[in-house]
Amino acid sequence: MKIFVYHTPELTPTDTVPECAIAVDVLRATSTMATVLAAGGEAVQVFSDLNQLMEVSEQWPPEKRLRAGERGGAKVAGFELGNSPLDCIPELVAGKRLFISTTNGTRALQRIQNAPIVLAAALINRAAVVQFLLEKQPETVWIVGSGWEGSYSLEDTVCAGAIAHSIVQQSSYAQQEISGNDEVVSAIALYSQWQDNLQGLLYQASHGQRLLRLECNEDLKYCSQTDILDILPIQTEPGVLKSQNN
């Protein structure tokens, strides 16, 4: 298994696809997706374009859909939800499809949607992702951070490091064996330094500070937890993710 970490969707190679691609948007799209599916959501369907989201979701019965829209960290007017995983309680989402568009996370998923296996990962479901990788042993794995509007983000990199670190810990692979690029080494180093204070790292991240200004402190606390959801969002058709329970 060779793991490659890309800090933003724009940095991924354009002439190839991996056997397995993993989108990461800790703050907050992939955290929200995992939470929705853990709470009994039927599926999550992602869009980069808000108008397209409205058009497709209109074809679903109102009682079977929820619309989540976020731009700049704030909820889009006219949508039931923004991008907070804490709003995704079973009473609201069970049995429904979440149609979601966010500033960064949905772009990452769309960039990798042609890979044979596409997963959504966050810190909260890290263990489920690692277990899947150890069982399936894909030859090449891309972990693609969403970043923030095309630039590096600490929270997505530390999650990539958490996944790679756990694979090294739980397998016979040496770190240098699985590292497909230098970014893997740096992501593992970042996680190793901050693993006991991930909430502190998220507070230092520029997007963490942006969310604090929006009074989303509880979201930061929630998203900084590791391995609390045994849920694996896996793409079943382009742009649609469903739960594969471990």
Q: Are 87 and 33 in contact (CB under 8 A)?
A: no
Q: Are 8 and 188 in contact (CB under 8 A)?
A: no
Instruction: Measure the CA angle with vertex 166, ends 168 and 186; round to 5°.
Output: 75
Q: Are 124 and 222 in contact (CB under 8 A)?
A: yes
Tokens of 67: 């619309």
Radius of gyration of the chain (CA): 17
Pair type for strands 240-243 and 43-46: antiparallel
| Per-residue confidence (pLDDT) for residue 107, from 0 to 100 | 87
Question: What are the boundaries of each domain within the chain?
Answer: 2-236
Pair type for strands 65-71 and 233-237: unpaired
Q: pTM of the prediction?
A: 0.95
Measured CA to CA, the distance from residue 243 to residue 47 in angstroms comes to: 18
| Per-residue confidence (pLDDT) for residue 203, from 0 to 100 | 97
Measured CA to CA, the distance from residue 205 to residue 210 in angstroms comes to: 9
| Per-residue confidence (pLDDT) for residue 150, from 0 to 100 | 86
| Per-residue confidence (pLDDT) for residue 246, from 0 to 100 | 39
Q: Show pLDDT as tens, one digit a residue, over the chain (246 residues).
A: 999 999 999 999 999 999 999 999 999 999 999 999 999 999 999 998 899 999 999 999 999 999 999 988 888 998 999 989 999 999 999 999 999 998 887 889 999 999 999 999 999 999 999 999 999 999 999 999 999 888 999 999 999 999 999 999 999 999 999 999 999 999 999 999 999 999 999 999 999 999 999 999 999 999 999 999 999 999 999 999 999 853
Three state DSSP letters for the chain: CEEEEECCHHHCCCCCCCCEEEEECCCCHHHHHHHHHHCCCCEEEECCCHHHHHHHHCCCCHHHEEEEEEECCEECCCCCECCCHHHCCHHHHCCCEEEEECCCHHHHHHHCCCCCEEEEECHHHHHHHHHHHHHHCCCEEEEEECCECCECCHHHHHHHHHHHHHHHHHCCCCHHHHECCHHHHHHHHHHHHHCCCHHHHHHHCHHHHHHHHCCCHHHHHHHCCCCCCCCCEEEEECCEEEECCC
Architecture of domain 2-236: Alpha-Beta Complex (3.90)
